[in-house]
Structure 1
Amino acid sequence: MKAFTIQEINNVLLGEIVGNYTAKITAPEQLEVATNTEISFIGNKKYEKLWHDSKAGVAVVNQDIAIEPGENRAFIKVKNADLAMSQVLELFAPPTPVFKINIHPTAVIDETAIIGAGAKIGANSYIGPNVSIGENCTIYPNVTILDESTIGKNTVIWPGAVIRERCHVGAHCILHPNAVIGADGFGFRPCPEKGLVKIPQIGNVIIGNGVEIGANSCVDRGKFSSTVLGDGCKIDNLVQIGHNSKLGRFCIMAGNSGLAGSVTLGNGVIIGGSASIKDHTTIGDGAIIGAGSGVAGDVEAGKTMLGYPAVEARDALRQWATLKRLTNNPNK
């Protein structure tokens, strides 16, 4: 079991130790359930009140904390407790699953595939013709990578993920279990003779560097060209990204949200959980779409939108306040 002194942890965080704590720290834990050998964090002043009843021996806190740690307890003061706590979690992270051999004998690898130095491929994975896998990639069991796809170096693909033909995944990406890259876009047209005719989806998906895609999420291939995710995008579990959508750099999409076809997101856009975005919509840089919102038109850069249909946040809050008053006072 890993254990560190407070000074060893602070050597990583480079913060200021306040108080006195001499025991070894055995694990990180949330404030309400931590024991006296565990470290927690206070990322907002409104949670200061929880420290008194917490049993945590140490907390990583923001510099503006107003309380004292108390006897035989300590704080590590930092500029950003949330970011610092991510470093603490890295210190205590258990090892990832072990590969006894780099290429499992049950993996099926086409003779034309190129496998980079140090790459690991797990049991029952399939690597198709003309696939290129970069250096030090980790492909866990039961992954499928179809013809002419490319995977950048140091990318990790967890079990059950599927990368369909001609799709390209950048370096330092993470694809979680059962993520699907390059499924057909949802395209059908009415036909008097056949009912609905499937529109062929002949494009692909291009994913930038440092992208993370959650479990059971799907990025559809383009109808004509490419569905594109820019560098650093973070996609939660159970997210749908429709064909020919274009995401800028460092976009975030929370669980159960979805983009219809040909949606464009600028850089740094945040899409809340269960939000839905209409096809051919453009959302500008830094815009925020609140959870559960439905966006039916373009959104200017920097705007925050709420509601269904989504309107600017201040307008939505005003509408909700008015509705609440009418509900509470039906005669007025």
Structure 2
Amino acid sequence: MKSYTINEINNFLTGELIGNTDQLIVGPEELKKANKSQITFIGSTKYAKFWEESKACAALVNQDLNIEPGDGRAIIKVKNVDLAMAKILELFNPPAPVFITEIHPSAVIHETAEIGEGCKIGANCYIGKDVTLGNDVILYPNVCVFDETVIGDKTIVWSGTIIRERCIIGSNCIFHTNVSIGADGFGFRPSDDGRGLVKIPQIGNVIIGHYVEIGANSCVDRAKFSSTIIGDGCKIDNLVQIAHNSVMGRFCIMAGHSGLAGSVTLGDGVMIGGSASIKDHTSINSGATVGAGSGVMNDVAAGKTVLGYPAQDARDMLREWASIRKIVKNK
């Protein structure tokens, strides 16, 4: 088990240490659940009142909060508690699952595939014709990578993920369990005789940039033609749908259960809340925010925050909701 002194942790964070504790710290925990060998965090005055009752021996505290450590305890003041806690979590992060052999004998690898140096390929993986893996790629057991796909250096693909043919994946990406990359886009039209549906072939691919992370059970569909694109640094939560021909800029965030319909365009730094839905052929420009549960039907200007169903300027929507509540109360 990893353990650190309070001074070692403070040296790692370069914060302001106030008070002291001789207790070895074995991990982080929530304020109310922490025991005497754990460090906790306090980011606002809302939680400061619980510090006295907490059993934690130490806490990370935002530098603008006035909190005393108490006897035998310590606090480390930092500029941003959330970022400091991320560093602490990395410090205590357990090791990744162990590969007994770098390439498991049950993996099926086509003779034309190019495997870079230091790659690890787990049991029952499938790697198709003309696939290229960069250096230090990790494929955990039961991953499928189909023909002509390219995966960049140090990308990690967790079990159950399927990457369809002709996809281009950047470096340092993480795909969590059961992600689907490059499945057919959803394209159907009524038949001429009106008796059924005609499937529209989806012959494009998916292009994913560097440092992209995609959560479990999320889907990125390939384009009808050309490419569905996810830009560098995008972070996508679990159970997210990205439809054919959508284009995401750099460093966008999509929370769980949100979805882009076909041919949606996101600028850089767009944030989409959980369960939000974006209509097809809509553009959300750089720096815009879509509130949770919203339904975007029209383009959203750069830097704007929208909310509601259908989505509109957040301030207008909040005023509208407040007015409705007043009407209901006065009935």
Pairwise same-fold verdict (TM > 0.5)? yes
Q: Deviations over 1:217-244 (max 9, x none)?
A: 0000011100000000000000000100
What amino acid does structure 1 have at the position aligned with 2:280?
D
Q: Does 1:137 align with 2:137?
A: yes
Contact 2:110 2:129 in 1 (8 A): yes
- How many Å separate the matches in 2 of 1:78 and 1:84? 7
Task: Find the counterpart in structure 1 of residue 146 from structure 2.
Answer: 146
- How many Å separate the matches in 1 of 2:246 and 2:76? 43
Q: CA RMSD in A?
A: 0.8
Q: Deviations over 1:150-202 (max 9, x none)?
A: 11100000000000000011100000000000010000111133511000000
Structure 2 unaligned segments of length 5 or more: list them.
none
Q: Does 1:34 align with 2:34?
A: yes
Task: Find the counterpart in structure 1 of residue 301 from structure 2.
Answer: 300
Task: Find the counterpart in structure 1 of residue 269 from structure 2.
Answer: 268
What amino acid does structure 2 have at the position aligned with 1:316?
M
Task: Find the counterpart in structure 2 of residue 183 from structure 1.
Answer: 183
- How many Å separate the matches in 2 of 1:13 and 1:20? 16
Deviation, 1:297, is 0.2
Aligned to 2:178, the other structure's residue is in SS state coil
- How many Å separate the matches in 2 of 1:45 and 1:176? 35
Query: Which 10-residue stretch deviates more, 287-296 or 11-20?
Result: 11-20
Q: Does 1:227 align with 2:228?
A: yes
- What TM-score results when the alignment is normalised by the length of structure 1? 0.98
- How many Å separate the matches in 1 of 2:162 and 2:18? 49
Q: Does 1:207 align with 2:208?
A: yes
- How many Å separate the matches in 2 of 1:25 and 1:159? 33
Structure 1 residues 284-323: aligned runs within 5 Å: 284-323=285-324
- How many Å separate the matches in 1 of 2:179 and 2:140? 13
- How many Å separate the matches in 2 of 1:277 and 1:16? 45
Aligned to 1:75, the other structure's residue is in SS state strand
Contact 2:6 2:20 in 1 (8 A): no
Deviation, 1:21, is 1.0
Q: Does 1:250 align with 2:251?
A: yes
Deviation, 1:9, is 1.1
- How many Å separate the matches in 2 of 1:226 and 1:43? 42
- How many Å separate the matches in 2 of 1:25 and 1:305? 43
Contact 2:136 2:153 in 1 (8 A): yes
Deviation, 1:50, is 1.7
Deviation, 1:43, is 1.8
Q: Deviations over 1:116-156 (max 9, x none)?
A: 00000000000000000110111000000000001110000
Task: Find the counterpart in structure 2 of residue 241 from structure 1.
Answer: 242
User: Which aligned segments of 4 or more residues in structure 1 are displaced greater than 3 angstroms?
Assistant: none
Query: Which 10-residue stretch deviates more, 150-159 or 184-193?
Result: 184-193
What amino acid does structure 2 have at the position aligned with 1:144?
C
Query: Which 10-residue stretch deviates more, 185-194 or 232-241?
Result: 185-194
Task: Find the counterpart in structure 2 of residue 172 from structure 1.
Answer: 172
Task: Find the counterpart in structure 2 of residue 159 from structure 1.
Answer: 159
**Count of residues in correspondence between the two structures:** 330
Q: Does 1:55 align with 2:21?
A: no
Q: Percent identity?
A: 65
